[in-house]
Amino acid sequence: MPGERPVPPPQARRQPPQATARSGEGAPPQAGRRPGSPGQRPPRRPGERPANSAAAGAAAGAGAGALAGSGEREPELITHRAYNGTADAPGDYDRFDDDGFDGGDRLDDRVEERHHEPGLGDEGDGDAPRKKKGKAALTPAQRRKRRWKIIRRSLYAFVTLFFVLPAIAFAITYFLVDVPSPEEVAEQQAKVVTYYYADGKTEMGRDVPPDGGNRILLKPHEITPQVKHAVYAAEDATFETNPGFDVSGILRAVYNQLTGGVGGGSTITQQYIKKATENEEYSITRKWTELVKAFKMSNEQSKDEIITAYLNTIYFGRNAYGIETAAQAYFGKSAKEINASEAALLAGMIQQPGRSEYPEVREKRWNYVMDQLVANGWLTKAERDAAKLPQLIDLEDSRPESISGPERFIQQRVKEELEAKGYPEEKLQAGGYRVYLTIDQKAQEAAEQAVKQVMEGEDPELHEALVAVDPKTGAVRAYYGGPYDPEVPGGQYDWASAQRNPGSSFKPFDLVALLKKGKGLGETYDGTSPRMFGDRPVRNSNNESCGPNCTVEEAMKRSINTVFFDIVVNEVGPQAVVDAATEAGVPEEGSGVDGRPTMPTLDGNISIGGGDTMVSPLHMAASYATFADDGIRHETHFVAKLTTADGEVVFDETSEVATEGEPAFSDDPAESKQIAGNVTKSLIPVLEHSELMCAGERDCAGKTGTHQYVDPSGATVDENAEAWMVGYSPQISAAVWVGTGKNKPIRDAAGNRVYGSGLPGEIWKLFMDAYHEGKPLMEFPEVEPIGKIPTTPLPETSQPPVTNSSSSAVVTSSSAATSESSRPSNTDSNRPSNTTGNGDEDDGKTTDVTNPGGEPGRPGDEWDWLRGREADASETQ
């Protein structure tokens, strides 16, 4: 037809090559070959006519007829080729480019893309896909070149990502940032911080800068070598030689940021930038900007100028910014007059300025800096040995307008809490924040008044502490750690956060461990005294015996050591007591002002709060608050709300979400409530036994505790060293401690030994009665008893023992009893003490075991063991 392209004869059509079968297997004929391979004609160039087209057409026709007759597939036309006569000459395909790929490879890739379109096979007709060419087709030289290409490109990417881009970013940041001057920083620091009581209106006090914001900025020549070297030793020993930043510290910061940690080493220059910009955020961005500014500062200022700017800016504690103000606040002298020892103390406080009033912290930091001075050759060993810890001037003299008296300890705890939340003291002052406390003014006044009334005329070496916690929120309502009086020995020590042996006030945690095993107050143990546990004798107070079948309820009321030692050593194990205490709110690792561990060893001593068991009044009040709130634990806190100077709320702990607690003793709130309720049932009779019941017939529960004195030789003596009273109502939990803070006997003004029900108990009762005045009556909720239910012991000369209907246990008491018509007074010089030799004991009272509740009872009557009153049949289950 006109315009049609002539069809070449069959003979001109290319015959398919014969496939070569592999050894042992057949292979289908290969559909086609690469251009330029043997036996294959090269493609036509554009516009070129095939030679001998007529002959080729005839041959092609004959070939087609033969194929048709044999049933074989017709070979593809040259027009089927992807390149269709547009490829280069065959010889070009064997030339390799610089990357090790030849033209044939590129062509094959294009052909392969054509043949692997969806639904197409080798010829685009839906047959099986063509087998993709693999690495086996490449020569070793080609593979080496390909591998080098990958490595080369990876190196380009690495250099770009980690060197080129950071360098560009560094240069841009360098020209964009500015380094604040000390004068600019001084204008922003040391503003007034105001503290409010829980009502949000009444001021507890203010933090007023001692320099009134008009700080004296020293010049480089006014900074003495002693001060410089002390700060180098404490913060950055390589300051004189480093470029202003620490690469390893930055890498640590990056690693900590990626892994969820915090921190990373900083040079003095970096610290200046951080403090000057008030940016304490733990982030890579902050560290990056800090690095650039530090580098810029190092380029533009000398080392003398940098250290001077740092010392004029840094916060040292005691409301003092800058070395000159700090020297005045700590020692009452100029920074140019302080010696190496005093400089070491100031330098040491840079890292912990909020704990400047803790003697242990000051001594630890001072020792560290002094040792570093020797290690770096800035102080001789002889000078180090001759140096003594510097004495500070009274804080009242350093800043007379600041908070004073017992509230000073509250302020210290508040600062620590805010620092843990990311608001250190210097940040508070830089922003002039307002701090709204959980401290109730009336409760605080009641605590201070109770201590004053009871302790008036007592030995000045006796110290006392009282902490009250709201069970529903964990808010600290009253906190008395001492008078904060420099004239009183130990008067500047916060005893409310000091860790002491709790004595028998720790026994409720033994009971929690037992209740979690399904055993209750009706379980019986051998309460005789003394008893041997291995090679160790354990005694009760005055060797009092509760009999061989003493119930847990009776043992708690009378504080029988042998029963609780038996429970812990042979029944639940010491670790279960640790778990119970930590679940209630006692930290397993100590966090008191003295930094001692709480429960570092596990032995039977923990059952009676002796040995290495240590806890603070703050933590005891918090853990008993968990019992008071039906087994719900709340985080103890001093700060209710924090706002900026203009009233913007930073955080608020009074919201419903913030005050929501969590079940302490079980994931099931009902089970945790049941455990706590059973503990409360065991502690109600303790107050009756000690005559410390709350006024107005309020529901209260609690436990006394006494720890025995051990003389320097390790021998136990018939004296007490610590005395406790811890108790609660549904509205408040309070802990009281009395002691010397040393391993010394404690006696009252009349010369009598001090017990838990003595001075601590009197302080506790006065506070509780004052706190509840005007508040509604609230009762502890009823809960189902766990395990065996205790029965009321009967007089031994009366009827047979009562058998509880829900238990096969028969409870009896075989101990001889001595009637006690009234509570012994503190004038009784023969009051017994613990003879355990390694723990505590309580009040050493004798009691009538035929009437354990302290109430008149009749044989056979049921007794309401929750509230200590007679119950009719309808109330008894």
CA–CA gap between residue 109 and residue 107 (Å, rounded): 5
- SS3 category, 38: coil
- SS3 category, 656: coil
pLDDT recorded at residue 31: 45
Specify the range with the lowest mean pLDDT, choosing from 85-94, 470-479, 784-793.
Answer: 85-94
CA–CA gap between residue 345 and residue 362 (Å, rounded): 7
In the set 341, 356, 402, 504, the catalytic residue is 504
Q: What percent of the chain has pLDDT over 70?
A: 67
DSSP class of residue 221 equals: G
Where does the pLDDT of residue 627 fall: very low under 50, low under 70, confident under 90, or very high at 90 and above? very high
Where does the pLDDT of residue 646 fall: very low under 50, low under 70, confident under 90, or very high at 90 and above? confident
**Mean pLDDT for the stretch of residues 173-197:** 74
Q: Torsion over CA of 195, 199, 200 and 205, rounded to 10 degrees?
A: -20
CA–CA gap between residue 480 and residue 773 (Å, rounded): 20
Where does the pLDDT of residue 172 fall: very low under 50, low under 70, confident under 90, or very high at 90 and above? confident
Question: Directed axis angle between helix 669-690 and helix 507-515, to 10°?
Answer: 140
pLDDT at 72 over 70: no
pLDDT recorded at residue 777: 95
CA-based Rg of the chain, rounded to a whole angstrom? 43
Beta bridge partners of 702: 727
pLDDT recorded at residue 590: 67
pLDDT recorded at residue 41: 52
Give the residue carrying structure tokens 């026994």: 507
pLDDT recorded at residue 5: 52
The whole-chain average pLDDT of the chain stands at: 76
pLDDT recorded at residue 231: 96
**Mean pLDDT for the stretch of residues 799-814:** 31
**Mean pLDDT for the stretch of residues 807-836:** 33
Give the residue carrying structure tokens 């070449």: 8
Q: Which long-range contacts (CB under 8 A, 24 or more apart) does 717-721 make?
A: 717/745, 718/833, 718/835, 719/745, 719/746, 719/753, 719/833, 720/745, 720/746, 720/753, 720/754, 720/755, 720/833, 720/834, 721/501, 721/745, 721/746
CB atoms within 10 A of CB 529: 22
Question: Among the ranges 105-109, 289-293, 351-355, 628-632, which has the highest mean pLDDT value?
Answer: 628-632
pLDDT at 91 over 50: no
pLDDT recorded at residue 709: 86
**Mean pLDDT for the stretch of residues 522-548:** 91
Active site residue 504: yes
DSSP 469-507: E-TTT-BEEEEE-----TTSTTTTS-GGG--B--GGGGH
pLDDT digits 0-9 by tens, 793-806: 533 333 333 333 33
pLDDT recorded at residue 397: 72
pLDDT at 2 over 50: no
φ and ψ at 321, to 5 degrees? -100, 135
Where does the pLDDT of residue 628 fall: very low under 50, low under 70, confident under 90, or very high at 90 and above? very high
SS3 readout for 139-191: CHHHHHHHHHHHHHHHHHHHHHHHHHHHHHHHHHHHHHCCCCCHHHHHHHCCC
Task: List the Cα angle 479/760/629 in 5-degree steps.
Answer: 60
Element at 662 (helix H, strand E): strand 662-663
pLDDT recorded at residue 863: 31
CA–CA gap between residue 558 and residue 543 (Å, rounded): 12
pLDDT digits 0-9 by tens, 206-220: 887 765 555 678 899
CA-based torsion, 623, 628, 629, 630: positive or negative: positive
41 vs 350, residue with greater confidence: 350
pLDDT recorded at residue 57: 44
**Mean pLDDT for the stretch of residues 665-688:** 97
CA–CA gap between residue 496 and residue 43 (Å, rounded): 99
Say if residues 742 and 709 touch (Cβ distance below 8 Å).
no
Q: What percent of the chain has pLDDT over 90?
A: 45
pLDDT digits 0-9 by tens, 402-452: 788 899 999 999 999 999 999 988 888 888 899 999 999 999 999 999 999
Q: Does domain 459-637+652-750+792-852 have CATH number 3.40.710.10?
A: yes
- SS3 category, 550: strand
Say if residues 620 and 502 touch (Cβ distance below 8 Å).
yes
Say if residues 701 and 480 touch (Cβ distance below 8 Å).
no
Beta bridge partners of 551: 524
pLDDT at 240 over 60: yes
Please, where are the H alpha helices in 519-605?
552-558, 561-567, 574-584
CA–CA gap between residue 386 and residue 570 (Å, rounded): 53
Element at 346 (helix H, strand E): helix 340-348
**Mean pLDDT for the stretch of residues 754-766:** 96
SS3 readout for 378-431: CCCHHHHHHCCCCCCCCHHHHCCCCCCCCHHHHHHHHHHHHHHCCCCHHHHHHH
Active site residue 464: no
CA–CA gap between residue 327 and residue 830 (Å, rounded): 54
Say if residues 619 and 587 touch (Cβ distance below 8 Å).
yes
pLDDT recorded at residue 258: 55
pLDDT recorded at residue 750: 93
Question: Directed axis angle between helix 617-628 and helix 507-515, to 10°?
Answer: 40
53 vs 175, residue with greater confidence: 175
Element at 445 (helix H, strand E): helix 441-455
CB atoms within 10 A of CB 603: 15
DSSP 528-539: -SSEEETTEEE-
Question: Directed axis angle between helix 617-628 and helix 669-690, to 10°?
Answer: 110
CA–CA gap between residue 406 and residue 417 (Å, rounded): 18
pLDDT digits 0-9 by tens, 295-317: 777 778 888 988 998 999 888 98
634 vs 112, residue with greater confidence: 634
Q: Which two tokens stand for residue 140?
A: 């070793």
pLDDT at 828 over 60: no
Q: Which two tokens stand for residue 313?
A: 């800016």
Q: Which of 630, 637, 676 is nearest to 654 (CA)?
A: 637
Task: Give Cβ neighbours of residue 274 (< 8 Å, ≥ 6 apart).
Answer: 266, 280, 286, 290
- SS3 category, 831: coil
pLDDT recorded at residue 459: 93
Say if residues 764 and 780 touch (Cβ distance below 8 Å).
no
pLDDT recorded at residue 549: 94
- Domains of the chain, residue spans: 186-412, 459-637+652-750+792-852
Decide: residue 798, CB within 10 A, 0-12 exposed, 13-18 middle, 19+ buried: exposed
543 vs 527, residue with greater confidence: 527
Where does the pLDDT of residue 277 fall: very low under 50, low under 70, confident under 90, or very high at 90 and above? low
Domain 186-412: state its class.
mainly alpha
pLDDT recorded at residue 523: 96
CA–CA gap between residue 115 and residue 107 (Å, rounded): 12
Give the residue carrying structure tokens 């294009």: 110
Q: Which long-range contacts (CB under 8 A, 24 or more apart) does 384-393 make?
A: 387/340, 387/341, 387/344, 388/341, 389/341, 389/345, 389/362, 389/363, 390/330, 390/331, 390/341, 390/342, 390/345, 390/366, 392/330, 392/331, 392/362, 393/329, 393/330, 393/331, 393/332
Amino acid at residue number 703: K
Q: Which two tokens stand for residue 669?
A: 């709130």
- SS3 category, 118: coil
Where does the pLDDT of residue 177 fall: very low under 50, low under 70, confident under 90, or very high at 90 and above? low
Say if residues 9 and 62 touch (Cβ distance below 8 Å).
yes
Amino acid at residue number 179: V
262 vs 623, residue with greater confidence: 623
679 vs 842, residue with greater confidence: 679
Q: Which two tokens stand for residue 483?
A: 């008078």
pLDDT digits 0-9 by tens, 111-143: 444 444 444 444 444 444 454 455 557 888 888
Beta bridge partners of 738: 464, 723
pLDDT recorded at residue 500: 93
DSSP class of residue 81 equals: S
pLDDT at 86 over 70: no
